[in-house]
Amino acid sequence: MSTDIDWQHELDSSFGTGDDVEVARYVAAGHRAVRRRRIAAVGAGLGAAAVIAGIAWTTAPGGASRTSDLPVATRSPSESHRTPSADEPLRDQPWRAGEPPARVTPNGLEIRDGAVVHERRDDVYPGKTTESAALDISRDGERHWLVVEWGDGNSGMSSTRPEDGLFESFDAFIRAEVAHGGMTTPSGDEPQYMFADLVNWSSGSEPELRPGATVVRAVQDPVETKKDSIALAVRHEGEVTWVLLMRNRNGYGASWEKAAESGWPTFDLWVSDQVALQTGGTGLRLVELDVDGTLSPALPDVEVLDQRADPDLPAYGTDGATTSAVALVDWRDERWFVLALVHPDQDVVTTFAASKADGAETIDGFLAFAAARADEGGLR
Partner 1 sequence: MRHDGDFSEFVAARQTHLRRIAYALCGDWHKADDLLQTALTKLYVAWPRIRQQGGEEAYCRQIMVRANIDESRRPWRRERPTDDLPDRGAPEPTAVEERSALFDALQGLPEQQRKVVVLRHWLGLSVRETATELGINEGTVKSHSSRGLAALEAVLAPQR
Binding site for partner 1 (CB under 8 A): 1-2, 5, 7-8, 10-34, 37, 164-168, 172, 176, 237-239, 258, 260, 355, 358-360, 362, 364-365, 368-369, 372, 375-376
Least distance between partner 1 and beta carbon 366 (Å): 8
Residue 284's identity, in one-letter code, is: L
Which lies closer to partner 1 via its Cβ, residue 225 or residue 355? 355
> CA-to-CA distance for 145 and 133, rounded, in angstroms?
11
Give every CB contact of residue 227 below 8 A, 6+ residues apart in sequence.
247, 248, 249
Give every CB contact of residue 40 below 8 A, 6+ residues apart in sequence.
52, 54, 72, 74, 377
327 CB-side CA count, 13 A: 28
Which lies closer to partner 1 via its Cβ, residue 305 or residue 372? 372
Which lies closer to partner 1 via its Cβ, residue 57 or residue 167? 167
306 touches 327 (CB < 8 A): yes
Least distance between partner 1 and beta carbon 111 (Å): 28
Which lies closer to partner 1 via its Cβ, residue 120 or residue 210? 210
> 137, exposed or middle or buried, with CB in 10 Å at 0-12, 13-18, 19+?
buried
Which lies closer to partner 1 via its Cβ, residue 198 or residue 276? 198
Least distance between partner 1 and beta carbon 31 (Å): 7
Q: 291-295 long-range CB contacts below 8 Å, 24 or more apart?
A: 291/323, 291/342, 292/323, 293/323, 293/324, 293/325, 294/325, 295/325, 295/327, 295/329, 295/338, 295/340
Which lies closer to partner 1 via its Cβ, residue 122 or residue 312? 312
Which lies closer to partner 1 via its Cβ, residue 239 or residue 319? 239
> CA-to-CA distance for 218 and 117, rounded, in angstroms?
45
Least distance between partner 1 and beta carbon 359 (Å): 4
DSSP 375: G
